[in-house]
Structure 1
Amino acid sequence: MDLKMSLDGLQAFLAQDFPEVAEEFTVEAVAPMQLTLRLNVQDRHLRPGGTVSGPSMFGLADVAVYLAILAMIGPKALTVTTNCSIDFMRKPAAGVDLICEVRLLKLGRALAVGDTLIYSEGVPAPVARATLTYSIPPKA
């Protein structure tokens, strides 16, 4: 399968369609059925104790799988999350960005399923794992 959107195209899509969060994320790499996304951690992502919050990690996984799907099918903004399961495995390192690695497990006409691992930058053990399912809009 070939990519329909490049790394630069995905970043531009975020800036155009989701300007309120575009600066929070940086697409690090994209390949067929795979994507790596960085959460540029800022104070608003932290919970008491100085660690990245669960909702911020969920957001990272959600945006990462969404972009991985769009990389394969093109800019279909109405692709939506239908399910998510996330396991928080360890406390993220303080003061560093998070990196989410996505692998699409299924990319069908109506549904896509992606698996993610989230890491603190520079730390080999994942801090969270999430599996997400998306509904893809029918072709017009």
Structure 2
Amino acid sequence: ARVRSPFRPSTLRPGGSISGPTMMGLADAAMYAAILGELGRVEMAVTQNLNINFLSRPAPADLIAEVVILRLGRRAAVLEVQLFSEGNDEMVAHVTGTYALPSS
């Protein structure tokens, strides 16, 4: 999945960097989108774990999340997200996460 978050000046923290919660929210939403794309509507899939490493300062631009499902089991999905500032190939954050999936 590839998800874009439009730039909003209200997401900047002092010093001009996009806030961590903004980046974490995008990564979490992108992981959920990847799961929905693979399994269809799964309303009760919930974030079980999210780990983020901030690698470089994001530009004041749209954020792009690129998601890969590493493992999709019956009870959990493990995913990886790379975050980029639009127009830049340098990753600004690396995210891994696990989603708990409802039992069938």
2:11 to 40, 45, 48: 45
Unaligned runs of 5+ in 2: none
Q: Which residue of 2 aligns with 1:118?
A: 83
Measure, in 2, the Cα distance between the counterparts of 1:49 and 1:79.
36
Q: Does 1:98 align with 2:98?
A: no
Calculate the TM-score normalised by the size of structure 2: 0.96
Q: Does 1:127 align with 2:92?
A: yes
By how many angstroms is 1:40 displaced?
1.0
Amino acid in the other structure paired with 1:103? V
Amino acid in the other structure paired with 2:43? A
1:23-49 C-alpha deviation (Å, 9 max, x unpaired): xxxxxxxxxxxx000011212221112
Q: Does 1:82 align with 2:61?
A: no
Q: Which has the higher helix share?
A: 1
Measure, in 1, the Cα distance between the counterparts of 2:43 and 2:15.
36
Calculate the TM-score normalised by the size of structure 1: 0.72
Name the SS for the 1:51 alignment partner.
coil
Amino acid in the other structure paired with 2:53? D
Moved segments of 4+, more than 3 Å: none
Structure number with greater CO (CA < 8 Å, separation at least 6) is 2
Amino acid in the other structure paired with 2:40? G
Cα RMSD (Å) of the superposition? 0.8
Matches within 5 A, 1:17-96: 35-94=1-60, 96=61
Percent identity, aligned pairs only, is 45
Name the SS for the 2:49 alignment partner.
strand
Amino acid in the other structure paired with 1:42? R
By how many angstroms is 1:50 displaced?
2.0
Q: Alignment length, in residue pairs?
A: 104
Unaligned runs of 5+ in 1: 1-34
Measure, in 1, the Cα distance between the counterparts of 2:98 and 2:23.
16
Amino acid in the other structure paired with 1:90? S
